Structure 1
């Protein structure tokens, strides 16, 4: 060895070694136990379960920070996660678990109620300095919750007896008493302050050494170098904490991103609403403008009418004056021609033409009478034709036709009444058929919609009620839908329908829906009579007879069907009787004809509808028969309606004919034969014409004069005609002027403001012009109507668009409220709230979204620059730290011979792991463009970061394994131990013990553990560690003697005081390395006891007494 053990011990004056362990009511060690510990080391010997680990856990509780403290780990090697011991179990003295009354596991305790415990260790160095570490623990009441265990931490720099703490319990655990009863003790409520104190006293440089000591206490399998160095020498890298911080802080970043996404989505939702609202306002303005124009259009029309009338009057007044002057001129011409005609007529009278004049006048009179008679004859002919008579050609026949016409006039009222009566009846029939047709069609549609036989109005009522209550219609069945008449009892169908018709139209409501249905019906006027039953399940207890109505029915499956069955057994158990004799004798009965006997007193026959009227039937599981019935009925009624329509059209024609006949008969009854006798008048005209021709032949000179008179008459007639035409024209113009003036007066009365143009005159004028028509008085109303219709069409189009806009806006508000109710803040999704919604949009655009984006991108940069950068950096730093730590361990290893003339050096090599490579690449990608202001790139970085965080936070086994691999830098390296000689020449290489014997592997790991402890506790400046106590809990229970001796010798070489718990079988190997021991055994499985074992310093052996052997044999048995 390069360092002699005796030299080490001689240089150990400043080493603190454990000299005493004290416990009070600690676990199964009741009352005070005092273990004196020699400076050379100590053995706790005893069987499993005796309490050895309990004592060592007291040591762990005094030195190990709570975050790492794990009791009884050595006994739980196969189960690193289940913790069966705690401060509470040690205070209470838990010793077993038993099955409780309820089958649960119940812990058994030595100490109930309020109790307390204490533990203490005394350390001393060769210079006489003393350091005492102590804890006092207590619990009040009967609680067994770990969180209810209280404790104080103490340090003293003098010898200490654990009984000195009795004052604390006697004063009901008043911590203030320490200032009076234990003045020199430093008392702490937190382990952190306590450990700062004792580490300074014991010269332990860092907290990591405490963790390594605690891990060493439970170390057993030291065969794998890599596992040992990772688990014992190297702490968990900070990468896990950084990743946890990244995950935790990502919640804030993700929340910020969600705020950005939400704000963007909210803007996306409300922005179209703003555009639509602007369009809505423009549309409202356009509509209001058009409405204002439309309101003024009539005023404009009348103003325009007055202007046109004034213009027309002015024109007509000019025309009237021109016509008056023209009449004067033409009157003079006509007078002149009249004088000429008079002169010619005088000349004719002078030559005896008076006889000719009389004959000519008689012929003219007869010709005029002929026209009158021919007109009346035509009337008589038409009347006879309408009546279907031949035109009479004699006075007798004519008189008969006139009398028949008078009789027809007298009978006109009766004939008209008879036709009207027939017409009224046809109308009534048509109306009834139409109503029945509508009802039949509605029933067909209802029957097609579902399988129920119930009337459409009741089915619609149920559908409406189910929809309003948001429940399935099947939850509200009608009783009739749950019952059908059996196929072997169809002859009783009509009677059964008659009895159950009212009950079948009732709705069944179960107990759960009863409150909602009752409230619904109470709050509404349903417009129908509705009966509903609250279906409380009950059993009638009655058994229907063989002829009972109930026996002739099938019932639907389910609770409703069962309820109906019981209700019918209770209320409708009527006997179906074939004879009146049986009917009279039965207490309750019904006949096939529908006569019902409710009880011995009350009977009923309801023939408002035939008992076999299938349209009134409502029972049945399906409605195929009723649907066919109503389809046929609808087709039949359709044909009947068509026939009635034709009959009404025919009777209309008959009415027209009657009116025509009445009119013609009235005309005919007012005529005489003389009124229509044209033949006699034609004979008289022929006679007068013959006489006239004879007189003319007797006076040949008159022919020339007649020609001149005739010519003059034509000239005079034309002159008078022109004058009369012009006169008529003038009077017509005057009449038109008068009419226009009347119109102006009426216009002034009805439209007082018509003398001035109304508002919007220019716009209306433009619309008039747009028609392309020249506006006049005559077409003014037509043009105005065209413009008005155009305005109405525009308004309808605008109103339609405004309606669409309103609906779209409100729908966006509704969706906004649904997606973001908290942001909506209780706003109603109505147009009235539009300003509030748009104000929210403006805040989102101007304030919220920019703020959210700034916060998000700021957090993204912060997390990228800090956590991700820190994580990436820490991965590299942890690798470097591992190498640095191994260098320090190597410095310790140089001082400890591994084999004669050799020592160990641990080299660290990187492992090629694909998952690690991809993870680091992902980190680089997440950090890429971290200094760029491009927000699109930032969004991509966030997606990458989110995916990374999601996997880091995942609890899936695969992802957790991946997380442990990529973050645990200890797994990224492999440790190789090289054995070097004094000239640093390599002797052998150890790769995780591969290919080496078990002893070699354990020796390698033990050497490294001792060197690690030496490094952690001794640093670089001390030859030996200041704190030298190392505790091992059954570390060598499975090891052979050679390895045990080798490992203990290594620890001694590094200057450690070894405290070991071991079974009795391993004592011989450990004896040379300790200075004392005790045997721990347990009585009744719940009371630990100790037998001190004397140690022979000369032989370095324990003196095992018979008491110890007996106790061992008792434990084994």
Structure 2
């Protein structure tokens, strides 16, 4: 009876007819494999083969040869049936099989337990498995050849796929010295395919033999050790179900999400660009307005002269007309005044003549003397008043006597000399204060220039260095930001500021060094060589690969670090460790004990003999710091310094004002002393002069009383004289006024003539109106004398407005340049064609315009489209695949249950595998997230930007976790995507009415035999699921290897298990240690006895075929050939007999239950007359 014909139930005929299209193992060849020394050739009937023999004879070694070819190395477990579940026999390896490990011995010298090898030197090995198919006819041989050099701990190997039969022994000779692929190719020709690795080899034979994938290989390998399986879920999940497509879908989604992430990054990038550049537009307007204001102020300033000229002309014409009218009027008044003066003079002459006739000769003489005395008195009084004024300055009064006056004269002389000395001292002091003031003015001017430079360059380095860098930047076309000075990107470690003086003393020179990237070195070197920099510039070419030095914890290098975010951080770390290993010590005493060091006060010791302390700069002053000072800090320092200097300037001004005041007071006293000393006593003796006048007045009085009528004449004469004086004064006044008006008329006329002769520039009417407003706001009708003052005021105001507009422009330009610098630094590619300079403002505005008009909308549109497509396609498909997984498993398990229905699990009972869904919370949350992501794409038209962003963030979070390599995320990913974990399996035993009588979720609580029976049924179901295409009655690949699978079951359990395998259409290769032989042989087409010698060194094969079928290969006598004897042999398994040893009484024996007798029938075939194997 054949194994195929033993299948029971409705589908048996269909299974039998379909096996002709199956790939079944036909031949096993090994060479030097384990204890199978030399060449062995074992035919395998299509109905299956039973391997039996004593324990340790080599059965598992032969099965491991199959595994070495059919199982990937990462899943390969040699001698799997002898191991507990999940473990591996690490003593068995490919190398141990090739070298022929056969025992463990103890070394006599060391007592160490070691492995003894049959082939310890250079050796070779090979395995060949031949598979055949009857319809359509097809034969394929899988080969693995090994070579191990003497002393090597690994084997070189080659995998070959050969069309048709191939004798392994033909190829062994070609690998004596190593795996010679070239020679093998020449020998095998086009029939053979060689592979670079096992994965491509396995993929090729899986396609040819009808294996669905690597999971099927693993399941077949796991079946070999079926007795160690305990969990139904583990078996069916890990070995029946393929790796779900959800993993590849997720990988595809993650891979394609990169495009969406790039699109989102482009949107975010465009938005950030737009946000950064957006302030440029109002700044541009501010700059335009400021420039317009400057232009207007400049035009108005330039028009002031023309306006003043026109205004002066108008005022001159008005003045000329008034002067002309005044001259005409004054001509008449002067004529009348002259006539009135003449009449008054004649009246005085008439009265004088009349009085002379009355007074006689003596009185006029006395009166003349009195008049002269009165004049002298007036002169003395004037001189005395002058003296009193000078003495008043000195704080004293005029003396009353000649002696007192003489004493005063001496005092005045002494004080004048003293004051002269003090004045000279004050002059020297004033010169010194004035120098201080001029120095302060220069310092303030320099500070303001420095503040402007810091604001524009955003750097705190020295101006000469910044100028040099700007020259290089313009020459190379590179922004200054790519050529940093060390001090700009180096700072002091927090908490180490107390060592600032020491740091500056040692590292300030390094801080003033410019860094040049390797890619710009040639350009910078050329620019430095050609350009005149105006200062001393040191620069370093930054080369990668420096090694950091080890320095002491108190080294100066430990107090420095690169600024966060700088591209030169790693280079700087290495460089400062290399340069600044100076030990930081407190004072000179400690400095003496170190090789290189620096004190807190800044004294540097660079070797045992060389010391330096540079006090040309006050390193405690922040303005002289070069390290770790950013632009804002330095600008604040400059501002503080400006405030300090302004306070000092106010003090100097006050000091100068005080000196000026005191000098003026002393000068006044000095001048008063000199003026007072110029007077004589006679010039100020008012008493004497007054006495003379009094005496003469008394004499005149006496003479007048003696002449009648004289008093009346005197009264009239006095009145006439007063009238004459008044007339003369009025005449003089009118003539002076006339002269003045004529002069004014003449001057005005000449001025007008000059203005007319000179070219008068055109004055724009709008500018004229604006200047009218400004002039009238100060003086509605300014005179000629006031025009200049008003013009000066207007010009000053226009200058202030122009300066204010210039400051606004500079501030806006500074902010704009800062924005352009940020833009260029963050997006070098976008800013490649523009530079962070005011001249490129319009180009940046064009970038902003393009962003708003095209780039940003385009990026947002592409982002929305990708978000929609990936949400609706990738995510939707992934979610759908996860949700459908349970129903797909149920659908696939249906044919398996139909096949299980054909074989009784126990009398009247059948086994059925039922699928349950495991509802994991993490999966529910994952599906909810996927639903949120995918459903949002349905309402794209109504979706806001914020909603799309939120959906993207959720998608990004999911994709990030799916792509993560962290163990927590990998666990989450496996739980969500491995849909095999979303189902659980239960084997249900049901009676003929379909009623469940027992449930099995694993082997717990079962006896050994029950466990193996359950495992065999479930394995058969799993193999049927994994290897059979939908709609096919049998799998395309038929071979199933079972090693000691029924060592704990009885005959009925074993037969039922084997029936289910046969019913599913599998070719069985069974291995058992001389147990249950008669039951097993019913399901195979032959048996092979594996034996070994007493020392376990030489395994042998003997074969018996139970039937002569058309597809069975004929074998002749074979003999074992040792590796050292022949290069090529024709050998095989010893064929014990070609007749069926089971005999005609087999059925009866089986029915009567004399199993032992039937086993002896097969056993006798493999023994001699004495009972030896």
State the TM-score, normalizing by the size of structure 1.
0.69
| Equivalent in the alignment of 1:728 | 736
Contact persistence 1:41–1:1059 (CA under 8 A): yes
Question: For residues 778 and 1063 of structure 1, do their structure 2 counterparts lie closer, same or farther at Cα, with a shift above 3 Å needed?
Answer: farther
Indicate whether 1:21 and 2:2 are aligned. Answer: no
Secondary structure of the equivalent of 1:930? helix
Contact persistence 1:218–1:1033 (CA under 8 A): yes
Indicate whether 1:1077 and 2:1077 are aligned. Answer: no
Indicate whether 1:660 and 2:643 are aligned. Answer: no
User: 2-side partners of 1:362 and 1:70: how far apart?
Assistant: 160
| Equivalent in the alignment of 1:781 | 788
Indicate whether 1:969 and 2:979 are aligned. Answer: yes
Within the candidate set 490, 499, 513, 1:470 is matched to 490
Question: For residues 769 and 261 of structure 1, do their structure 2 counterparts lie closer, same or farther at Cα, with a shift above 3 Å needed?
Answer: same
Contact persistence 1:478–1:507 (CA under 8 A): no
Secondary structure of the equivalent of 2:985? strand
Offset from partner CA, 1:1067-1103 (integer Å, 9 cap, x none): 8985665532343769999x87445477854534445
| Equivalent in the alignment of 1:121 | 129
Question: For residues 783 and 913 of structure 1, do their structure 2 counterparts lie closer, same or farther at Cα, with a shift above 3 Å needed?
Answer: same
Q: Which runs of 5+ in 1 are unaligned?
A: 99-105, 435-464, 482-504, 527-533, 538-556, 572-641, 1113-1117
Per-residue deviation at 1:964?
2.4
Question: For residues 66 and 321 of structure 1, do their structure 2 counterparts lie closer, same or farther at Cα, with a shift above 3 Å needed?
Answer: farther
| Equivalent in the alignment of 1:946 | 956
| Equivalent in the alignment of 2:162 | 154
RMSD: 5.8
Offset from partner CA, 1:828-884 (integer Å, 9 cap, x none): 544344344444434433443233223322221221121111112212332222111
| Equivalent in the alignment of 2:1125 | none
Which has the larger displacement, 285-294 or 209-218? 209-218
Contact persistence 2:75–2:218 (CA under 8 A): yes
Which has the larger displacement, 369-378 or 950-959? 950-959
Question: For residues 996 and 1084 of structure 1, do their structure 2 counterparts lie closer, same or farther at Cα, with a shift above 3 Å needed?
Answer: closer
| Equivalent in the alignment of 1:602 | none
Indicate whether 1:324 and 2:304 are aligned. Answer: no
| Equivalent residue runs for 1:498-647 within 5 Å | 516=510, 568=592
| Equivalent in the alignment of 2:1017 | 1007
Contact persistence 1:865–1:927 (CA under 8 A): yes
Contact persistence 2:72–2:199 (CA under 8 A): yes
Indicate whether 1:253 and 2:273 are aligned. Answer: no
Within the candidate set 293, 296, 304, 1:289 is matched to 296
| Equivalent in the alignment of 1:272 | 279
| Equivalent in the alignment of 1:671 | 680
| Equivalent in the alignment of 2:641 | none
User: 2-side partners of 1:238 and 1:1089: how far apart?
Assistant: 45
User: 2-side partners of 1:1013 and 1:708: how far apart?
Assistant: 165
Question: For residues 71 and 838 of structure 1, do their structure 2 counterparts lie closer, same or farther at Cα, with a shift above 3 Å needed?
Answer: farther
Contact persistence 1:466–1:476 (CA under 8 A): no
Offset from partner CA, 1:1017-1067 (integer Å, 9 cap, x none): 566877665653211345557878886565345424545332134567898
Contact persistence 1:508–1:560 (CA under 8 A): no
User: 1-side partners of 2:354 and 2:717: how far apart?
Assistant: 10
| Equivalent in the alignment of 2:859 | 852
| Equivalent in the alignment of 1:1047 | 1057
Indicate whether 1:234 and 2:241 are aligned. Answer: yes
Within the candidate set 158, 169, 178, 1:163 is matched to 169
Indicate whether 1:1058 and 2:1068 are aligned. Answer: yes
Per-residue deviation at 1:295?
4.1
Question: For residues 80 and 868 of structure 1, do their structure 2 counterparts lie closer, same or farther at Cα, with a shift above 3 Å needed?
Answer: farther
User: 1-side partners of 2:435 and 2:800: how far apart?
Assistant: 40
Which has the larger displacement, 160-169 or 229-238? 160-169
Which has the larger displacement, 383-392 or 28-37? 383-392
Contact persistence 1:137–1:150 (CA under 8 A): yes
Within the candidate set 783, 799, 807, 1:800 is matched to 807
User: 2-side partners of 1:769 and 1:137: how far apart?
Assistant: 113
Contact persistence 1:225–1:1004 (CA under 8 A): no
Offset from partner CA, 1:308-358 (integer Å, 9 cap, x none): 334323322322222222212332333344445544555555556676555
Per-residue deviation at 1:235?
1.6
Question: For residues 1073 and 844 of structure 1, do their structure 2 counterparts lie closer, same or farther at Cα, with a shift above 3 Å needed?
Answer: same
Which has the larger displacement, 262-271 or 325-334? 325-334
Per-residue deviation at 1:925?
0.8
Within the candidate set 179, 185, 191, 2:191 is matched to 185
User: 2-side partners of 1:139 and 1:991: how far apart?
Assistant: 46
Per-residue deviation at 1:926?
0.9
Which has the larger displacement, 88-97 or 938-947? 88-97
User: 2-side partners of 1:140 and 1:359: how far apart?
Assistant: 166
Per-residue deviation at 1:517?
8.5
Question: For residues 1044 and 796 of structure 1, do their structure 2 counterparts lie closer, same or farther at Cα, with a shift above 3 Å needed?
Answer: farther
Per-residue deviation at 1:258?
1.8
Q: Which runs of 5+ in 2 are unaligned?
A: 106-113, 438-484, 515-534, 539-548, 553-580, 596-650, 1105-1135, 1144-1157
Question: For residues 1040 and 387 of structure 1, do their structure 2 counterparts lie closer, same or farther at Cα, with a shift above 3 Å needed?
Answer: same
User: 1-side partners of 2:931 and 2:803: how far apart?
Assistant: 63
Offset from partner CA, 1:457-492 (integer Å, 9 cap, x none): xxxxxxxx99579364999999999xxxxxxxxxxx
| Equivalent residue runs for 1:1080-1091 within 5 Å | 1089-1091=1099-1101
Question: For residues 988 and 386 of structure 1, do their structure 2 counterparts lie closer, same or farther at Cα, with a shift above 3 Å needed?
Answer: closer
User: 2-side partners of 1:84 and 1:818: how far apart?
Assistant: 61
Per-residue deviation at 1:247?
2.0
Per-residue deviation at 1:126?
7.9
Per-residue deviation at 1:22?
1.1
Secondary structure of the equivalent of 1:857? helix
Indicate whether 1:911 and 2:918 are aligned. Answer: yes
Contact persistence 1:216–1:232 (CA under 8 A): no
Secondary structure of the equivalent of 2:785? coil
Per-residue deviation at 1:930?
0.7
Contact persistence 1:46–1:1063 (CA under 8 A): yes
Contact persistence 1:300–1:758 (CA under 8 A): no
Per-residue deviation at 1:34?
2.0
User: 2-side partners of 1:852 and 1:91: how far apart?
Assistant: 63
Question: For residues 227 and 198 of structure 1, do their structure 2 counterparts lie closer, same or farther at Cα, with a shift above 3 Å needed?
Answer: closer
Question: For residues 291 and 508 of structure 1, do their structure 2 counterparts lie closer, same or farther at Cα, with a shift above 3 Å needed?
Answer: closer
Within the candidate set 257, 262, 265, 2:269 is matched to 262
Question: For residues 833 and 570 of structure 1, do their structure 2 counterparts lie closer, same or farther at Cα, with a shift above 3 Å needed?
Answer: closer
| Equivalent in the alignment of 1:682 | 690
Secondary structure of the equivalent of 1:929? helix
Question: For residues 203 and 738 of structure 1, do their structure 2 counterparts lie closer, same or farther at Cα, with a shift above 3 Å needed?
Answer: closer
| Equivalent in the alignment of 2:39 | 32
Contact persistence 1:892–1:1015 (CA under 8 A): no
| Equivalent residue runs for 1:805-954 within 5 Å | 805-825=812-832, 828-931=835-938, 932-933=940-941, 934-936=943-945, 937-954=947-964
Contact persistence 1:508–1:535 (CA under 8 A): no
